[in-house]
Structure 1
Amino acid sequence: MFLTRFRLNTARPGARRLLSSPQSMHAAVMSSFPALLPSDTPPPEGPRVLWRLDHQARAEVLLYIVSPHRPDLTHLVEQAGWPAAATADPPEPGWLTKAYAPFLDRLSAGGQWAFRLTANPVHTIRRHDHEARKITAHLTPIHQMRWLLERQERCGFRILEKADNQRLLPGGTTYHGKHEHHGDRYELAVHDHKALSFDKTRNPNGAKKGKPVNLVTVTFDGRLEVTDPQALRRTLAQGIGRAKAYGCGLITLAPLTPTARQTP
């Protein structure tokens, strides 16, 4: 397994084209692996190629890739990076790739980490018993948060709860009818809500393929504790939720700062 970081040069037209189309970015990411063909389908189990865009600032956008094979991002450097700088410094080709296995092997029960996840929180609905279920997006932060909380146990972690003196509400939980709302209970924030709509295409001729793709994506930032290291390793390699081809599902971990280590 490998973890790769690539900074896009947002001043270049090629970068702007990629950022405007999840379909184009997906194709560019998958073209980074010589052994993969466009017709290949990801395995239902086991490591797969995951990617995510992080908008750090207005002009700083980072592409993260988790993959079972080491990528070659030369084409991305030429299209959306700094090719002259990469040529001038051969040891720095324009991206950074590290082996992921040593980090995954160090994960242990009880370890606490900051995390980030961009996901496509959905559920199924139907208006009556005789209607087929339809997949639809969660649209509110409360429901999007609940979507992740419902998956934390089988993903191998638990999201940390805030200390009592950090909560705005007693207990951090409110109720709407029969439903709990945990907006002030957990070390979890939901932001960067995006509604995306684009056509799937047949590369390389660009012909349209099937119905347009409509997605709602959000980014979760929070703090977690490892409960099942093996399950969390699987989650980090396979992703969470749907729309993984379009920049969703990749969860990354980072060490907690000293102040963030304080738990109730």
Structure 2
Amino acid sequence: MFLTRFRVNTARREARQLLGSPRRLHGAVNMSFAEPPGRDGNGPRVLWRLDRNSRNEVLLYLVSPSRPDLTHLVEQAGWPTADTPGWQTYEYGSFLDALAEGGTWAFRLTANPVHHVRFKDGQPTKRTAHRTPRHQIGWLLKKQENAGFEIAEKPAERRLLEAGDEYQLIVHDQRGLQFGKTENSGRHDVTLTAVTFDGRLRVTDPDALRRTLTSGLGKAKAYGCGLMTLAPVR
């Protein structure tokens, strides 16, 4: 497994076009591999995420079973004449192997929190986005056990509210995404809500967490959702 980071040159028109279209960026990510890994099953796959740290600092992260070549992205959305290659790729397997039960990590996850709702009796349920931070956090809390971790709780003296401030977790950068998609049945619109979670977790099941980090969490993985990354707690 490999973890790759690429900084987007937001001053370039081609870069802004990619940032504005999850479908285009999905295609550009797939072009980074001579043979993109399959998307079926629960095995490792190509995951990606955009971190919009500021107006001028947008980072693209990839996790992939094979090493990517981002030359085309440098030419479209990077700094082609710079002395450095434009991206950094790190071997990820040794980090994953070292995960141990009880370990504590800071994490970031961009995800598509959804649930199924029946609007009228007798009708089938429909997948619907969670719109509020409270429900989005609830979605993540329901996922955590099977995903191999638990969100760290705040000490009681650090909680600002009696209810709703129990966890070391924030939700931010909610974005509504809509774009066209062409399939065998024709062209249709895709609408989804992506949000970013930053927080602290404790490893409860290392094997399950490895699957989460390499296979993603939740829906819309092809469009920049599902990738969780870990960092040492400061």
Whether 2:104 is the aligned partner of 1:100: answer no
1:16 is paired with a residue of what secondary structure?
A: helix
Distance 2:230 2:80 in 1: 29
Distance 1:155 1:139 in 2: 22
- How far is the alpha carbon of 1:129 from its aligned partner? 4.0
- The residue aligned with 1:109 is 101
- How far is the alpha carbon of 1:17 from its aligned partner? 0.6
Q: Is the 8 A contact 1:117 1:220 kept in 2?
A: yes
- How far is the alpha carbon of 1:8 from its aligned partner? 0.4
**Structure 1 residues 150-229: aligned runs within 5 Å:** 150-170=142-162, 173=163, 183-201=164-182, 209-229=186-206
Distance 1:45 1:169 in 2: 39
- How far is the alpha carbon of 1:41 from its aligned partner? 4.6
Q: Is the 8 A contact 1:199 1:209 kept in 2?
A: no
Q: Show structure 2 runs of 5+ residues with no match.
A: none
Distance 2:174 2:35 in 1: 34
Distance 1:41 1:102 in 2: 23
The runs of at least 4 consecutive aligned structure 1 residues that moved more than 2 Å come to none
Deviations 1:193-242 (A, max 9, x none): 1111110147xxxxx94210001110000000000000000000000000
- The residue aligned with 1:133 is 125
Distance 1:220 1:186 in 2: 12
- How far is the alpha carbon of 1:168 from its aligned partner? 1.5
Corresponding letter in the other structure for 1:186: Y
- The residue aligned with 2:57 is 60
Deviations 1:98-143 (A, max 9, x none): 1110100110001000000000000001134411110010011100
Q: Which of 201, 209, 229 pairs up with 1:232?
A: 209
Q: Is the 8 A contact 1:242 1:248 kept in 2?
A: yes
Corresponding letter in the other structure for 1:21: S
Name the count of aligned residue pairs: 233
- What TM-score results when the alignment is normalised by the length of structure 1? 0.86
1:33 is paired with a residue of what secondary structure?
A: coil
Distance 1:135 1:45 in 2: 21
Larger C-alpha radius of gyration, 1 or 2? 1
Distance 1:52 1:201 in 2: 22
- The residue aligned with 1:176 is none
Corresponding letter in the other structure for 1:8: V
